[in-house]
Amino acid sequence: LKPLKDRLATPKKGFFGKLKEALLGKTIDDDLYEELEELLIQSDIGMNMTMQLVEELEKSVSRKKLKTSEQIYDELKELLKAKLVYSDESNTKLKLQDGKLNILLIVGVNGVGKTTSIGKIAKKLKDSGKKVIIGAGDTFRAAAIEQVEEWGKRTGVEVIKQAHGSDPAAVIFDTVKTAKNRGFDVAILDTAGRLHNKRDLMKELEKINKIIREQSGETDFETLLVIDSTTGQNGLEQARIFNEIVDLTGIILTKFDGTAKGGIIFPITEELKKPIKFIGVGEGIEDLREFDTKEFVEAMFD
- Per the annotation, where are the binding residues for GTP? 108-115, 190-194, 254-257
Based on the shown chain and the rule CB under 6 A, indicate whether residue 166 belongs to the binding site for ligand GDP: no
Report in angstroms how near the CB of residue 229 gets to ligand GDP at its nearest: 8
**Binding-site residue total for ligand GDP (CB under 6 A)?**
18
Exactly one of 77, 258, 285, 292 binds ligand GDP (CB under 6 A); that residue is: 258
- Binding span for ligand GDP by CB under 6 A among 14-22, 27-35, 81-89, 281-289: 281-289
Exactly one of 11, 14, 46, 113 binds ligand GDP (CB under 6 A); that residue is: 113
Parallel, antiparallel, or unpaired for β 222-228 and 250-254?
A: parallel
Based on the shown chain and the rule CB under 6 A, indicate whether residue 230 belongs to the binding site for ligand GDP: no
Report in angstroms how near the CB of residue 178 gets to ligand GDP at its nearest: 22
**Which uninterrupted H or E stretch holds 287?**
none
> Among the residues of the chain, which ranges form H helices?
4-7, 10-13, 15-23, 30-42, 47-63, 69-82, 114-127, 144-155, 168-181, 198-216, 233-245, 265-272, 293-301
Report in angstroms how near the CB of residue 112 gets to ligand GDP at its nearest: 4
CA distance 254 to 113: 6
The residues in 123-162 that bind ligand GDP, with binding defined as CB under 6 A, are 147
Exactly one of 283, 286, 290, 302 binds ligand GDP (CB under 6 A); that residue is: 283
DSSP string, 30-78: HHHHHHHHHHHHHTT--HHHHHHHHHHHHHHHHHTT--SHHHHHHHHHH
CA distances from 190 to 178, 187, 256, 299 (A): 16, 10, 21, 31
Based on the shown chain and the rule CB under 6 A, indicate whether residue 114 belongs to the binding site for ligand GDP: yes
Based on the shown chain and the rule CB under 6 A, indicate whether residue 234 belongs to the binding site for ligand GDP: no
Q: Which residues bind ligand GDP (CB under 6 A)?
A: 108, 110-116, 147, 254-255, 257-258, 280-283, 287
